[in-house]
Structure 1
Amino acid sequence: MSTTSHLRKNHKKITLQKLAITSVIIGFLCAFLAVSLKHLTEHYEYILLHKATANRFLFLIFPIFGLSVIYFLRYYLFKKKENKGIKEIFESTGSRTKKLPVYKIPSHFFNGLLTVVFGGSTGIEVSTVVASAAIGSVAQQKENVFKRHKTELICAGIAAGITALFSSPIAGILFAFEVISKKVNRTFAVTTGLAVAIAYAFILILDEKPLFEVHITAWHLHAFPYFLLLGLLAGVNSVYLTRSVIYIKNRFAKIGNHSTKIIIGSIIISASLLVFPQLYGEGYHAMKILFVNSGSAVVTTSFLFTMIGILFLKPIITSITLASGGDGGVFAPSMFIGAFLGLLMATVLNTFFDAGVIPLNFMIIGMAAMLSASIHAPFTALFLICGLINDYTLFFPILIVCLVSKTTAKFIYPYTVYSYQPKPVN
């Protein structure tokens, strides 16, 4: 072996070792960030929601307060720059010069937390993803030998964050691949694999419980055609969500005064919360109640008004939350819509067609189908939802329905909120 070949081999070996050590650190930091944000959000959202439920006047106060504090932090602490969500990651991985600066870590952490706990109708998932990606990006900037591996280290951070948030290492890896990287090489496998392993070990040590504690008994073959119909409906609803976010963001972008954005957004959010408190924050509190009571749901005027109203308003309120300065994305809203859509469909089938389907199954499958269609990532949605409930009984129907919903959504509208690029103005 020549001296040059030997040096190259040693250089690659040393680089891989450094990447491995860095990935371990990234995995720990991202897991710590994700778990901290999750527990802080759950704790304060629970407190503030209950206070607002007891004193409904607070539904008028919380949204404008939360959005105002976010604007204050952005203006005085975070370089007066708005958070763009996952598009920031695409801009970074698609450019040699653009980076995710270190301030993006606290920016997304605190803005995501404040958005949700004060009633903004979105979730912390995208805030976690971008903050975790920023950790990977900052690590990449520390070593010259990592210049070629920016995407891999960003993906390592994202995968670790998703793993810790949803207790699903496979979902973390698949999201990094399906949505961000779209390619796998040896460096991706090493960095992402190590980061995810550390993140998963971290949540095992902490004994993190599944977000939703449900018990799936079985699913029946006679329900399969209804599952496919649910996939089609989820695909259509996901397009409604995507188009709502794009349209409302574009409309709000034309408002020059940020105070006006906050006031308009807060008024609409507050009015919606007064009618449908289920729209508060991530909505996981409402979903947990639905899981418990799904078997006893019956079609009444009140039931239909609530379900249809929520399915219609959730995409609009999510879009307004984001357009008026809130931080977050479509992860939690997609799962929320999917759960309500699944329950509505199952209840109607049982009431009017004597279908004998299990509403809980439709809620779980609806969550996965909506998420798959909204982010065009069926395998991520499959393992993420199974990880959320820590049950793989519905693995096969979820897989098929996720593929159906994604195909339907992509056929109707080829973009997600992440991939859409506005046409340049001539």
Structure 2
Amino acid sequence: MGLQQLKHRFTVRLMKVNQWRMNKISNQNFIIVLAVIVGIFGGIAASILKGMTHFIARTLQDDIDWHYKYSIYLIFPLIGILLSVLYVRKFLKGKKLEHGITPIIYAISRKSSRIPSHNIFSQIITSAITVGFGGSSGLEAPIALSGSAIGSNTARFFGLQYKEVTMLLACGAAAGISGAFNSPLAGMVFAIEILLPEFSIPIFIPLLISAAVAAVISRILYAEPLFHAATSDWEMGALLFYVLLALVVGAYTIYFAKISTTIKKLFGKIRNPYTKVWVSGISLGLMIFLFPTLYGEGYIAIQNILDGKFDAIVKNSLFAEYKDIGIVVLAYTVLTLFTKSFAALFTLNGGGNGGVFGPSLVMGGLLGFAFSYGVNLTGMVELNVPNFTMAGMAGALSGIMHAPLTGIFLIAEITGGYTLMVPLMIVASISYLINRSVLKHSIYTKVLAESGDLLSYENKDRTVLSMMKIRYVLEKNFVVLAPKETPEMRKSAIIHSKRNIFPIVDADGKFLSMIYSEQLFSILLGEVEGKDQAFELLGQKPKDFICISENMEIVMAKMNKDDVWILPVLDKEGHYLGFVSKASVFNKYRSLLMRQGSYLS
């Protein structure tokens, strides 16, 4: 039996199963079933990713004397990024591997929530290699993208519509975050806040189920907690210092967003992917040599701070002999903080896989530690350093991602610091407001907003137009006239045409002009001269034309400017492709508006 026959049989059986399912199970109940399945596989994926990453890191670091690690650290990150690039180029065969949360948002906005299935495993493999070998990025964005791919492809496998595909994509992302942090509430809030900014109450149930199931599966397969902290209640006297910390964190998130854009542009000028590997790998190795805390995710340093081991950040560095000098610890922490931003961005832009989700937590934690530790050095007050460290983590995540609720609930959940809810809320909200006042879009949505690919609820008309492609509204059922032909020669075609406009196109397919049916009928009825005149003499130039590569906002602007209802569409070389009319645009707009309005209902 051939492959095509097997594929056909499988398709037929799947259709029968789907038909039975639609007759026996309501769509709402079926979504719940799929949410459980997505949660299971999302939890498994998160456990595999954490297990692989930590296995690689332990294998590389165990039984190696520390003095030798200085030189080895120069090599490990380079090897990890190189292996990631080789995997993409050799195994994905031309398929693109994207990183971060941005591809998920783009898929919802422009790709009908479809995420290529290879992301299910490719994100796990490449990010485990990158971070396990010392790449200074996080695992949370890759697992969110992997989970989203699980949800998206599960929904497509059962032939569900855009509304359900988007729902399960969000369930997959929630499951991934929940499994990575063992924090179901934060996973659900992340999906709502980042992926589904306009939502209704019914979506809570599938998201909660997926996130909860993933947390259970992850805890069964990989029970090691991300952080453990013995939190104590916050004091009213420290309230002003939490506000000051929020101001500092908010300013830092703006700095990080701007430096992210700069580094991305610099790496964008390097065309050869292997040159990027060398530049990022060697630079990262040198940074880790000077600041060992930058190796991998960096969560160990944060845990040491939460445990009260404030000198641990200096202990294994070249400055270890000064670990008992407070001002050295503070200065070294600040240097590590700013170097972390470069290390994370070099890792991601150089070809490694990961995200800024994890680095945001680490940078926020270091900033919270440096702030409180520095204040304590003055001897004027005594702040609770672990509490400020956790508040800094929430603030950085809130500002960089524009996700204050995610920052609050994630830190409260993974550290058990629910007693810190008020400080977390203060720092996260102020940091978010500061960043938002300067930067309208988050680090995830800035690129999409600039390209017009962001699904925005503040301007629905523009958003829906941006979702349209000209090829979807292109009309081609027009009678094409040759420049040397005459109305008499094409009399029959003109009379029987259902359109009132006729393009005049030369032998090479180049658009020359057009002519309306009213003029042609007047000629054929003898009301005016021209039966034997060539169309190239009778035609008239359109007021404007549309290039196939233009977006729909430009198209509508051209139509409104000249008050026309139809315009010809040409390619870059001027070849005729068809026409776009306002009627076709409005019909497509109405269908997209209905789809957009229902996808979260």
TM-score (norm 2): 0.66
Structure 1: which 5+ runs fail to align? 1-9
Q: Does the alignment pair 1:365 with 2:380?
A: no
Q: Distance in 1 between matches of 2:370 and 2:239?
A: 17
Which of 70, 79, 92 is matched with 2:107 structurally? 92
Structure 1 residue 85: Cα displacement: 2.2
Structure 1 residue 89: Cα displacement: 0.7
- The one-character-per-residue Cα deviations of 1:357-383 (angstroms, maximum 9, x if unpaired) are 111111111111111111111111111
Which of 75, 100, 122 is matched with 1:107 structurally? 122
With 224-233 and 165-174 compared, the bigger mean Cα shift is at 165-174
Which of 384, 392, 395 is matched with 2:410 structurally? 384
Structure 1 residue 242: Cα displacement: 1.7
Q: Does the alignment pair 1:238 with 2:264?
A: no
Mapping 1:26-425, distance limit 5 Å: 26-50=38-62, 51=64, 53-55=66-68, 56-80=70-94, 81-97=96-112, 99-185=114-200, 188-205=203-220, 208-294=223-309, 300-421=326-447, 423=450
User: Could you say what the CA RMSD is over the residues aligned between the two structures, in angstroms?
Assistant: 2.3
Q: Distance in 1 between matches of 2:246 and 2:381?
A: 17
Which of 26, 30, 38 is matched with 1:18 structurally? 30
Q: Distance in 1 between matches of 2:121 and 2:153?
A: 13
What amino acid maps onto 1:91 in structure 2?
Y
What is the number of residues matched between the two proteins?
417
With 108-117 and 388-397 compared, the bigger mean Cα shift is at 388-397
SS of residue paired to 1:335: helix
Q: Distance in 2 between matches of 1:243 and 1:12?
A: 54
Structure 1 residue 305: Cα displacement: 3.1
With 312-321 and 33-42 compared, the bigger mean Cα shift is at 33-42
- The one-character-per-residue Cα deviations of 1:322-374 (angstroms, maximum 9, x if unpaired) are 11011111111111111111111112211215211111111111111111111
SS of residue paired to 1:214: coil
SS of residue paired to 2:297: coil
Task: Tell me, yes or no, if the aligned pair for 2:113 and 2:165 is still in contact at 8 Å.
Answer: no
What amino acid maps onto 1:76 in structure 2?
K
Task: Tell me, yes or no, if the aligned pair for 2:80 and 2:129 is still in contact at 8 Å.
Answer: yes
Structure 2: which 5+ runs fail to align? 1-21, 312-322, 453-549, 551-601
- The one-character-per-residue Cα deviations of 1:173-224 (angstroms, maximum 9, x if unpaired) are 1100000111223652332122123223324545834311110122111001
Task: Tell me, yes or no, if the aligned pair for 1:298 and 1:347 is still in contact at 8 Å.
Answer: no
With 248-257 and 202-211 compared, the bigger mean Cα shift is at 202-211
More helix by share: 1
Q: Distance in 1 between matches of 2:38 and 2:65?
A: 38
Q: Distance in 2 between matches of 1:321 and 1:52?
A: 26
With 95-104 and 321-330 compared, the bigger mean Cα shift is at 95-104
- The one-character-per-residue Cα deviations of 1:79-103 (angstroms, maximum 9, x if unpaired) are 3323132121112111355621110
Say if 1:112 and 1:215 are closer, same or farther in 2 by CA, change over 3 A.
same
TM-score (norm 1): 0.92
Residue matched to 2:547: none
Report % sequence identity: 29
SS of residue paired to 2:249: helix
Larger radius of gyration, structure 1 or 2?
Answer: 2
Say if 1:309 and 1:49 are closer, same or farther in 2 by CA, change over 3 A.
farther
Q: Distance in 2 between matches of 1:98 and 1:361?
A: 39
Structure 1 residue 317: Cα displacement: 1.2
Task: Tell me, yes or no, if the aligned pair for 1:249 and 1:322 is still in contact at 8 Å.
Answer: no
Q: Distance in 2 between matches of 1:131 and 1:413?
A: 28
Task: Tell me, yes or no, if the aligned pair for 2:113 and 2:152 is still in contact at 8 Å.
Answer: no
